[in-house]
């Protein structure tokens, strides 16, 4: 599941759209408010913050990396970076969200000191989602934390990143 997020990042989300709309609106109000229904840009922003890569560089580096970064996932992770994506997929799988919510729920987060060793990503608390019901709040918080964990993991694994695993064929997994 988590691989889909990296693919969509390249195709549909210019970085300027990421922060235009406040999260916290109920699903039935989002179309009326012209709210983007994807959290992929938020995940990209987190990853860019912790790794120091631009959104484009991040997407190029991680989409199709190894057996788990990008669309699909099979076999054994190839290295620490691929492990990050594997655990991200598992985090999404274990979330309380419906399949649709996993990829569409918007969450609120902040970033600071991006591109440095002190980069920080913080997921907002349940009280920051007044327009979400209880299940939506739990889903948003869970997905935010899954994405945050991925961003920190990719930053930690950056020194072992292997160019040979970019655009890896899933048939080799």
Q: What is the pLDDT of residue 130?
A: 85
Mean pLDDT by 10 residues, the chain (173 residues): 43 33 37 46 94 95 93 90 97 93 91 96 90 92 97 97 94 91
Cα 62 from Cα 135, distance rounded (Å): 30
Q: Structure pTM?
A: 0.78
What domains, with CATH codes, occur in the chain? 2-160 (1.20.90.10)
Q: Is 68 annotated as a binding residue?
A: yes
Q: Is 70 annotated as a binding residue?
A: yes
Helix or strand run (H / E) with residue 137? helix 134-157
Catalytic residue among 79, 88, 117, 135: 88
Catalytic residue among 34, 79, 128, 147: 147
Q: What is the pLDDT of residue 38?
A: 58
Helix (H/G/I), strand (E/B), else coil: 65: coil
Q: Is 2 annotated as a binding residue?
A: no
Cα 6 from Cα 65, distance rounded (Å): 10
Is 147 an active-site residue?
A: yes
Q: Is 103 annotated as a binding residue?
A: no
**CA quadruple 109, 2, 83, 161: dihedral positive or negative?**
negative
């Amino acid at each position: 599941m988590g691989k889909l997020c990296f693919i969509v990042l390249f195709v549909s989300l210019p970085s300027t759209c990421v922060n235009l709309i406040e999260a916290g609106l109920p699903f039935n109000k989002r179309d009326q408010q012209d709210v983007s229904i994807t959290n992929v840009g938020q995940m990209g922003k987190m990853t860019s913050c912790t790794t120091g890569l631009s959104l484009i560089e991040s997407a190029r580096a991680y989409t199709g990396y190894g057996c788990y970064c990008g669309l699909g996932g099979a076999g054994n992770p190839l290295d620490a970076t691929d492990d990050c994506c594997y655990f991200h997929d598992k985090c999404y799988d274990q979330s309380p969200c419906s399949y649709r919510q996993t990829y569409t729920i918007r969450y609120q987060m902040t970033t600071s000191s991006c591109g440095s060793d002190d980069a920080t990503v913080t997921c907002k608390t349940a009280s920051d989602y007044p327009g979400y019901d209880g299940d939506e709040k739990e889903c948003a918080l869970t997905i935010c934390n899954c994405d945050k964990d991925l961003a920190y993991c990719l930053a930690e694994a950056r020194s072992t990143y292997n160019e040979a695993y970019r655009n890896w064929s899933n048939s080799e997994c």
